[in-house]
Amino acid sequence: MRLLTFSAVLCALSVSLFSDEHDTPFTLADLPYPAEALEPVIDQKTMEIHHGRHHQAYVNNLNAAVEDHPSLAEMSLKDIQRHISQFDTAVRNNGGGHYNHTLFWTLMAPVGAGGSPSPALLAQIEEDFGSLEAMQQAFQQAGASQFGSGWAWLIWNGEQLQVTATANQDNPLMDVIPEDEQGYPLLANDVWEHAYYLSYQNQRGAYLEAWWQVVNWEVVNQRFAAITDATAASDED
């Protein structure tokens, strides 16, 4: 009996270690702020449903897909995106949904708390778009003109910043995206109706414009610094 208990503990321990290392089974992290923290730009109810039901469903469905695709258990969430062509639509939709939303929550902060673009990021934005306002207009346009559901992105393509849009839960890391639209996501906005419909109804453009108030530039700055450092390092190789 004691032995059995001990082996059960060992088993639970190894499962728990495995989870930490491989993020499997995939889990839904708490929001990094209370659900009401982004009001009035994004209302509490929208955040609760979006995180607790929509994102949770992507996580549950991705975990279900691991049974058919055991190799997912050995891959990081980011690597799954980069090799998404090897998997079926369920993995593409739910693996993409989990990656996109996990990123999305970190890219927002309460109104007034998100800071502003770093000097390095601002200089790159001005070089590639002319001004911050021009980049924001391009980003809003990408989100507004994405037919149906999808995402708007600001990416680093290894040489410059670029604004793109993807359908459904696709993202710029995926190897099924056209090569000239692939890159490392710095900023992402969810333009599925579930992201804004309670407050904005069919006014996607109003949501896209208001959303800048809750962008967490500190996180965007860190992502830009990390990826351009990595790019510079690999250039030296």
CB atoms closer than 10 angstroms to residue 109: 20
The tokens for 190 are 């969810």
The tokens for 55 are 């994102």
Using the 8-state DSSP alphabet, how is residue 213 labeled? G
Q: Give the nearer residue to Mn ion in terms of CB position, either 106 or 118.
A: 106
Q: Give the nearer residue to Mn ion in terms of CB position, either 37 or 57.
A: 57
Minimal CB distance to Mn ion: which residue?
190
Q: Give the nearer residue to Mn ion in terms of CB position, either 149 or 231.
A: 149
Q: Give the nearer residue to Mn ion in terms of CB position, either 96 or 183.
A: 96
| Shortest distance, position 191 Cβ to Mn ion, whole Å | 9
Return d(Cα 179, Cα 53) in angstroms, integer.
32
Place of tokens 């995939």: 26
Outline where 67-200 has alpha helix (H): 77-82, 89-106, 119-129, 132-145, 197-200
| Shortest distance, position 39 Cβ to Mn ion, whole Å | 18
Please name the amino acid found at residue 10. Answer: L
| Shortest distance, position 227 Cβ to Mn ion, whole Å | 24
For Mn ion, the binding residues (CB under 5 A) are 190, 192
Q: How many CA atoms lie within 13 A of 40 on its CB side?
A: 2
What order of strands is seen across the sheet that includes strand 184-190?
A: 161-167, 150-156, 184-190
| Shortest distance, position 161 Cβ to Mn ion, whole Å | 24
Q: Give the nearer residue to Mn ion in terms of CB position, either 103 or 121.
A: 103
Residue 152 φ then ψ, to 5° = -105, 145
| Shortest distance, position 190 Cβ to Mn ion, whole Å | 4
